[in-house]
Amino acid sequence: MSGRTVAALRSLGDLPGVAEAVEEAREACTTLRWHEGLRRRIPEAAAESRIRGATASAMLEGAEPAGSQSSLGLVRDLVRGATPWSERGADPVWRVLAGAVRATAATEHVAAAHLRAPGQLLATLHTASSAGLLPEDQLGRPRSAGERATGQDVLGPAPDPDEARERLRLVHELVGAVPDGGAPILIVAAVVHAEVAVARPFAAGNAVVARALERVLVRVGGLDPTGVAVPEVGHADRAGTDYRGALAAYATGDPAGVRLWLLHCAEALVRSAAEGTRVADAVRAGKLP
């Protein structure tokens, strides 16, 4: 990461209230890290975090399947193989839900070394999120001239493919530099998340990829090394209205809008740590399904 980019990111921490919010989020994640329920049982709790995260990510995309079974129960059955992936293959809501599950599941084995190849990482997450939603030749690659992006209408028209690719290069730079540190990981993760969601470099699935990438950065960057916090739930609280509004504010490019997004992300991470605590409590009590 260039010195100029690091300086720019650090300057975001000087926006009113941001440094304090970042510190509160860090403390919440530290408290979660040392939860007694996580002793020797982090993999079990992290797996439940991914299930809850995928469910929340799908909800933010409007993918809540009809029927008596809850979305959380359906996702849990998908992950453990009790429900076949092909069960409702023609249903677009089902395909979005399945994409959110696959993208979130794909974060499990991402390590610092994978961040050194950010283009490959984003291609993997995008392919997972959008298989069945896009033609195969559009999976894992940015939009080309004439290809439009779908989703997130609240953000207004998507940038043209050239601008989107330029912003994607910034994302690659930020992700690739995470193992070296240099800027607060919460701010890096928030900016990366917003840039992917707002620039919409892919033809579909951008917000799902953005949330999966944030999950990766928060864990691999050391803010939540257990992977038990549930960032997607933090964003989906209050039916996702705060999330969409904060993203729209960031999209304006105004410092006040960027500040609002950073505050939202910090507050969402506090809520995500609280959800992680509920997971850890359930693990300790032996009450996970």
What DSSP letter does each residue of the chain carry, written as one string?
A: --HHHHHHHHHHTTSTTHHHHHHHHHHHHHHHHT-GGGTTTHHHHHHHHHHHHHHHHHHHTT----SSS-HHHHHHHHHHTSS-TTTTTT-HHHHHHHHHHHHHHTTTT--HHHHTSHHHHHHHHHHHHHBTTB-GGGTTSPPPTTPPP-S-GGG-SPPPHHHHHHHHHHHHHHHHTGGG--S-HHHHHHHHHHHHHHH--SSS-HHHHHHHHHHHHHHHTTSSTTS-S-HHHHHHGGGGHHHHHHHHHHHT--HHHHHHHHHHHHHHHHHHHHHHHHHHHHHHHT---
Q: Residue 77 domain-assigned?
A: no
Q: Identify whether 184 is part of a domain.
A: yes
Residue 74 maps to a domain:
no
Is 70 a domain residue? no
C-alpha neighbours within 13 Å on the C-beta side of residue 18:
21
* Position 199 in a domain: yes
Q: Is residue 87 part of a domain?
A: no
pLDDT of the residue at 3: 66
User: Range of 141's domain?
Assistant: 3-49+108-126+135-285
Domain count, the chain: 1
Q: Write the pLDDT tens digit of every residue in 212-238.
A: 999 999 999 999 999 999 999 999 987
Successive 10-residue mean pLDDT values, the chain, 289 residues: 74 95 98 93 96 95 69 86 70 88 96 97 97 93 91 82 96 92 91 97 96 98 97 89 94 96 98 97 89
Q: Classify residue 95: in a domain, yes or no.
A: no
In this structure, what CATH number is given to the domain that contains residue 222? 1.10.3290
Q: Does residue 160 sit within a domain?
A: yes
